[in-house]
Structure formats: C-alpha cells, structure tokens
Structure 1
Amino acid sequence: MSSSETDGTRGSKVAGEAAADERRVRTLEQLMTVGRQHSAVTVMFHSAIAAKQGLSATEEKTLDFLERRGPLTAKDLAELTGLAPASVTGLIDRMENKGFVYRVKHPTDKRRVLVELNREKIGELAGFFDDWVRDVVEACQEFSTDELETVVRFLAVMSERQRKAAARLSE
C-alpha cells in the first residue's frame, strides 16, 4: 500500500470519527432539549392531576411511591424523594390531614411508624390516569421491543441520577 493510500484511509477514518462525534454532540443536544420539554410537561401533568384532588405535585408523587412500594417509613420516603426529613414529616402530615394516608405502627418494631395509603381515597386518583395509560400503550406500538428496552434502561439510569441530585440539594 502506498503512502498516499494509507493517508487517504487514515483521513477517511478521521473524517468518519469527526462526523460520528458531531452526530453524538447533536444527539446529546437534542436529548437535553427533549428531556427538558418532557420534564416540563410531566410536572404540569402531575400538577394538574394533583390539583384535581387538592394535592401538591410532591404529595401526588409520594402517593405513587406508596402505591408501588407499599407502606414506608418517613426515613424511606426521605430517601426515595430526596427531601429532608423535616420536609417529609410535613408532607406526611398534609397527606394524612387530606385523608390519603394513615400512620400505623410498624409490625415488628413498635418504635417505628409506617405511612400507609388509604386505598379508598387513592382509588379516586386512578381514573385520572386511564386516558394517559391508553396514550402510552398506543405510542409504544411504533417502537420495537429492543428500542423500548433501551428507553427503559436509559430512564432507570436517569431516574437514579436525578434522585441523587435531589438528595444533594436537600443536604
């Protein structure tokens, strides 16, 4: 192979890497833009649902944690939400006053208290999500299972990073 052929091959490789780098930069910029848009509409959606029941978005999302994980301690809720313990106490007080949760004795450690959902009251929120669930299922039809698995992995990683960022802000 001549020197010019080697230089030409090397030049093509460098040009290809540069194009790949530019594509990645553009894609990351798009991801940041779309991520901000998604975050904003998610906050607005949950704020609207919360408002229908006289809740804050934080209260509504805390109820979601309790729905998915079962009864939790205030410490558990602080870790999950990234909120300071004093803020979690006020949060639980508000949700209890609105009838969405109960404080119950821990089954094995009488010094601890669990926060438990009022299933009857929480059932009132379920109807607000029915249309949204149908929309999500419909939208997912245009993606392959492999693509959806990538999205799931990405969202799991980003959720953990954001939870840690929220915890740092509460320190």
Structure 2
Amino acid sequence: MDPEAEIARFDPMTFAVRDLIGASQDLVVRMARAMQMNVTDMTAVHLLSEHGPMGAAELADRLGIRSASATVLVDRLEAAGHVERTPHPTDRRRVTLTATAGAQAHALAVWLPGLRLVDEVGRSLSPEEAVVVRAFLERLTAAMDRAGRPD
C-alpha cells in the first residue's frame, strides 16, 4: 500500500498521539532553555537523576552519542556544577558520574509547574476513565519502546 494512503487510513487517535509527542518535544526544548542547557545536557542530568550514578560509556549509550562526545558533555556539565565525577567503587580506572543536588533541585523547580498541569488533567478523569487512559498509555509506551529497535 502507498504510504500516504496508509497514513490517510490511520485512526484519529494516532494523530492525537502524534500531536502529544510533538507537544512533548516542544516542552523538552522549552524546559532545556529554562534550565539554560541544551536538550542533550538536560537529558544527561535527567538520566543521572532518574537512574543514579553511571559511567560515561553507559551515559553515552543511553544518550545515543559517541564516547568522545560524552567526554565533552561531561566536562561541560561538571564545569557548570551539574555533574560530579567520583572514583568507581570497585574499578580504580573508572569514574562514576552523579547529578549534583543543585542540578536535581533546579531541574525539579523548572519541571514542576508543567508536571502539576499534567497531574491536574489526570486528576480530572473519572476513576473509570483513568483506568482506560492509563492502560492505553502503558500499551502505547511499550509499542514506542519497541519501535525502531532491532528484532
């Protein structure tokens, strides 16, 4: 089937999800600006805050960048006071990266107003609606996690 014809047959929900993804991407850019960072730097701080300390190679892998780029990124974040390097607990040749408390607090302060708005929308749903929407979002998240990955 012709790709344009296939897209024309998509469910309206697909386009609503596309719009949500676009709004989310725009929000990320605005939040990065508010944090006076680029999106990759903000994402790195988020990953370290969310997943805890990790090495530069793991951070590079999660960001989808090369290790040389990660080194430059970490140098920049460390100089700005957003990331700390500490010796790895078991391997003296490696270092562990940690988001500073200040970076985490700043990120939370920037993101909290938007999170409150999302929470407000979620709380406006009836319990029955919330169950359906949550299940849909969980299935959608799983599908998006699979998209573009090798089989």
TM-score scaled by length of structure 2: 0.77
Alignment match of 1:151 (pick from 116, 120, 137): 137
The gaps in structure 1 that reach 5 residues or longer are: 1-20, 166-171
Deviation at 1:26, TM superposition (A): 3.9
When residues 76 and 36 of structure 1 are mapped into structure 2, their CA distance, relative to the original with a 3 A threshold, is: same
When residues 70 and 150 of structure 1 are mapped into structure 2, their CA distance, relative to the original with a 3 A threshold, is: same
When residues 160 and 117 of structure 1 are mapped into structure 2, their CA distance, relative to the original with a 3 A threshold, is: farther
1:50 aligns with 2:50: no
Deviation string 1:71-103 (CA, Å, 9 cap, x unpaired) is: 110111111111111111111010001011111
> Do the aligned residues in 2 keep the contact of 1:50 with 1:57 (CA within 8 Å)?
no
- Equivalent residue runs for 1:1-171 within 5 Å: 25-27=10-12, 30-31=15-16, 33-35=18-20, 37-51=22-36, 55-141=37-123, 142=125, 143-159=129-145, 161=147
Instruction: Report the Cα distance in structure 1 between the residues aligned to 2:105 and 2:13, rounded to whole angstroms.
Output: 39
Deviation at 1:43, TM superposition (A): 3.4
Instruction: Report the Cα distance in structure 2 between the residues aligned to 1:45 and 1:152, rounded to whole angstroms.
Output: 25
- Figure out how many residues of one structure are paired with residues of the other and give that number: 141
- More helix as a share of residues: 1
Deviation at 1:48, TM superposition (A): 2.6
Instruction: Report the Cα distance in structure 2 between the residues aligned to 1:40 and 1:130, rounded to whole angstroms.
Output: 17
When residues 33 and 22 of structure 1 are mapped into structure 2, their CA distance, relative to the original with a 3 A threshold, is: closer
When residues 124 and 33 of structure 1 are mapped into structure 2, their CA distance, relative to the original with a 3 A threshold, is: closer
- What is the CA RMSD across the aligned residues, in angstroms? 2.8
1:152 corresponds to which letter in structure 2? E
Runs of 4+ with >4 A deviation:
21-24
Instruction: Report the Cα distance in structure 2 between the residues aligned to 1:22 and 1:97, rounded to whole angstroms.
Output: 47
Deviation string 1:52-86 (CA, Å, 9 cap, x unpaired) is: xxx21211111000001111101111111111111
Partner SS for 2:33? helix
When residues 161 and 87 of structure 1 are mapped into structure 2, their CA distance, relative to the original with a 3 A threshold, is: farther
Instruction: Report the Cα distance in structure 2 between the residues aligned to 1:127 and 1:74, rounded to whole angstroms.
Output: 26
